[in-house]
């Protein structure tokens, strides 16, 4: 008499566990795999540089680093940065519980090495091993009527964060008035001040107007756009192209080694402001442009990646 083969019973994974695992995978991919638009922009930049120059060498090392990180699922940079989440979620979801699930995913991703133990208590200097605490991570939540999630993550390192800048116009130091030419002067001054310290070639997110807090927040959100896309406002689009060309004529080049590629892109938006204030907020993103996103269905499974 033949024995019946035992069929393996697949254990059903709960929604909470599946959602946590999904966030771990989003974190892994964001940390280790550069999006296609960034890879292509870096290759285009290298093609413009003189072969065997320091700029060419720097860009070549970046390409090797990208390939190695992807192959090993290892962080692209030793500084895995501030985690900035931009999430649209079904409005009936328990946001408090949802946040806790994301925090569990961050803790697990840190243990797996996808994130480094990169968070520090500002008062004591003590390292926070799970990367969780006040201001870490940064969440931007927005409920919507749809029954799926749009989850985007950006990892922004400290080097590029350090060279961000905010201007209050008029600024007599750089001869910048309260107009778009004044904005242009702010952008170029920020590039000159940064030199190679922001791990260039960089990408700039620039917000005209708003207050000090909203300006910086809006300038960082521009990094969610694909490299090469222009503002829908034709005046701002023209300023993006002009500022990018002028910055790349500075000769600063990749990592400050000299060359033709100081920036990969400039993106500009505008917010309303008060009559008394005219802020220009400039956020800088390094060449290790880590951002990824996923459309996640109602069963917490990834349906597609937003950045290929």
In a domain, 44, yes or no: no
29 and 140 in a single domain? The answer is yes
**Distances in Å between the alpha carbon of 301 and those of 86, 109, 114?**
18, 18, 20
153 and 195 in a single domain? The answer is no
pLDDT computed for residue 57 by the predictor = 96
202 and 301 in a single domain? The answer is no
pLDDT in 10s for each residue of the chain, 308 residues: 555 555 555 567 899 999 999 999 999 999 999 999 999 999 999 999 999 999 999 999 999 999 999 999 999 999 999 999 999 999 999 999 999 999 999 999 999 999 999 999 999 999 999 999 999 999 999 999 999 999 999 999 999 999 999 999 999 999 999 999 999 999 999 999 999 899 999 999 999 999 999 999 999 999 999 999 999 999 999 999 999 999 999 999 999 999 999 999 999 999 999 999 999 999 999 999 999 999 999 999 999 999 98
In a domain, 66, yes or no: no
Residues 6+ positions from 57 with CB-CB distance below 8 Å: 257
Residue-range definition of the domain harbouring residue 265: 159-285
117 and 141 in a single domain? The answer is yes
27 and 84 in a single domain? The answer is yes
242 and 98 in a single domain? The answer is no
Q: Give the three-state DSSP class for 7.
A: coil
In a domain, 38, yes or no: no
CATH number of the domain where residue 81 is located: 3.30.1330
Q: How far apart are CA 266 and CA 144, in angstroms?
A: 30
183 and 125 in a single domain? The answer is no
pLDDT computed for residue 13 by the predictor = 80
In a domain, 180, yes or no: yes
In a domain, 5, yes or no: no
221 and 268 in a single domain? The answer is yes
pLDDT computed for residue 28 by the predictor = 98
Domain count, the chain: 2
In a domain, 272, yes or no: yes
295 and 152 in a single domain? The answer is yes
Q: How far apart are CA 23 and CA 151, in angstroms?
A: 9
163 and 152 in a single domain? The answer is no
Q: Give the three-state DSSP class for 253.
A: coil
pLDDT computed for residue 3 by the predictor = 57
- Please identify which residue in the block is written with the tokens 């991703």: 109
27 and 146 in a single domain? The answer is yes
Long-range contact list for 62-70, CB < 8 A, 24+ apart? 62/254, 62/287, 62/288, 63/39, 65/288, 66/34, 66/39, 66/42, 69/32, 69/33, 69/34, 70/32, 70/33, 70/34
In a domain, 230, yes or no: yes
pLDDT computed for residue 131 by the predictor = 97
Task: Specify whether the CB–CB gap between 252 and 261 falls below 8 A.
Answer: no
296 and 203 in a single domain? The answer is no
In a domain, 47, yes or no: no
């Amino acid at each position: 008499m033949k024995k019946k083969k035992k069929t393996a019973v697949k254990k059903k994974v709960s929604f909470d566990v599946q959602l946590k695992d999904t966030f771990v995978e989003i974190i892994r991919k964001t940390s280790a795999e550069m999006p296609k638009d960034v890879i292509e922009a870096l290759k285009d930049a290298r093609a413009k540089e003189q072969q065997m120059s320091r700029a060419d060498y720097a860009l070549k090392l970046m390409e090797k680093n990208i390939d190695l990180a992807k192959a090993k699922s290892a962080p692209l940079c030793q500084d895995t940065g501030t985690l900035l989440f931009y999430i649209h979620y079904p409005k009936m979801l328990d946001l408090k519980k949802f946040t806790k699930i994301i925090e569990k995913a961050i803790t697990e991703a840190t243990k797996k090495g996808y994130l480094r133990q990169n968070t520090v208590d500002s008062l004591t200097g003590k390292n926070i091993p799970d990367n969780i605490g006040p201001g870490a991570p940064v969440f931007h939540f927005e409920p919507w009527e749809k029954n799926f999630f749009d989850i985007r993550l950006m990892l922004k390192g400290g080097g590029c964060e350090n060279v961000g800048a905010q201007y209050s116009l008029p600024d007599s130091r750089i001869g910048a008035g309260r107009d778009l030419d004044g904005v242009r002067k702010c952008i170029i001054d920020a590039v000159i001040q940064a030199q190679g310290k922001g791990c260039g070639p960089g990408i700039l997110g620039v917000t005209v107007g708003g207050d000090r807090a909203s300006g910086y927040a809006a300038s960082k959100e521009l990094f969610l756009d694909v490299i090469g896309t222009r503002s829908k406002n034709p005046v701002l689009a023209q300023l993006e192209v002009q500022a990018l060309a002028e910055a790349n004529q500075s000769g600063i080049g990749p990592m400050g080694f000299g060359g033709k590629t100081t920036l990969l892109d400039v993106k500009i938006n505008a917010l309303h402001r008060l009559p008394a204030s005219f802020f220009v907020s400039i956020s800088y993103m390094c060449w290790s442009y880590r951002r990824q996103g996923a459309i996640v269905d109602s069963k917490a499974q990834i349906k597609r990646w937003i950045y290929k």
